[in-house]
Amino acid sequence: MSNTIKPLIAGNWKMNGLRASLDQIRDVVQAISGSKTPDCDVLICPPVTLLAEAGVLSANSRLATGGQNCHVAQKGAHTGDISATMLADCGATFVIVGHSERRSDHGETDGLVRAKARAALDAGLTPIICVGENQAERMDALAITVVEHQLDGSLPELNKGEEIVIAYEPVWAIGTGEVAASSDIVRMHSSIRDWLLKKRGLRGETTRILYGGSMKPGNAGEILALPDVNGGLIGGASLKADDFVAIINAA
């Protein structure tokens, strides 16, 4: 069943990109339009400074835009923060929550991630909820236990019609050029699928589970063909349109 899920190829620009980088968005929009339309959904999450303009450039195209973080409240006295409603107002339809860099740089807990995911859903956005073990946990053979614990704490209850995306990103593979072995990715994704089915019933069958961590044009084809891998969350290789489009084509 999960093999019938339409893949999502999502770019996470992190704290990269100035106005000149909007050309990359223009190039991606063009590459996925018309007869070359890919059989997957495509998303770019630029820094929030570029989001409104990216929304204009991608309007009426196959490219969706998203935020990289949101506050748990929709508005109010929270200097420097951005709400999910504000992201939606810029044309965003997704938001990444609980990325490992937010968890480590800002001490974000599973409970906070769950509240952010709920805020995203309330604003009409689809949250991409990130989970993944670090190197020490991996060496201690705790990867699956850690990820199940994160899922348990980070996933909100869902109302009818609401959907989430899970991104499995082993922390040691992010930005390092190291990729999890295919057998480990298969084992983890199938264990996440089993967890979803056990805890979320039928909805677990249709939830997208993305892989993230040093996905590049050269390895994307192999990773994206694995069972229960329903797309990718791509950092470094999403910054250049050519590389990102090559990954889209690999899907």
Residues lying near ligand PGA in the complex (CB under 6 A) are found at 12, 169, 174-175, 212-215, 233-237
Nearest CB to ligand PGA, comparing residues 85 and 147: 147
Q: Is 149 a catalytic residue?
A: no
One-letter amino acid for residue 239 of the chain? L
List the beta bridge partners of residue 88. none
Minimum CB–partner distance for residue 177 and ligand PGA (Å): 8
Backbone phi, psi, residue 62, to 5°: -80, -5
Find out whether 40 and 7 touch, Cβ atoms under 8 Å: yes
Distance, CA of 113 to CA of 73 (rounded, Å):
12
71 is an active site residue? no
CA-CA distance, 113 to 120, in Å (whole number)? 10
CB-based contacts of 227: which residues, under 8 Å, 6+ apart?
A: 2, 3, 186, 189, 190
- Are the beta carbons of 179 and 170 closer than 8 angstroms? no
The CB-of-156 to ligand PGA minimum distance in angstroms stands at 21
Residue from 101, 108, 137, 169 carrying the catalytic annotation: 169
Rounded to a whole number of angstroms, the minimum distance from the CB of residue 237 to ligand PGA is 6
Residue nearest to ligand PGA according to CB distances in the complex: 235
Q: What are the residue numbers of the active site?
A: 99, 169
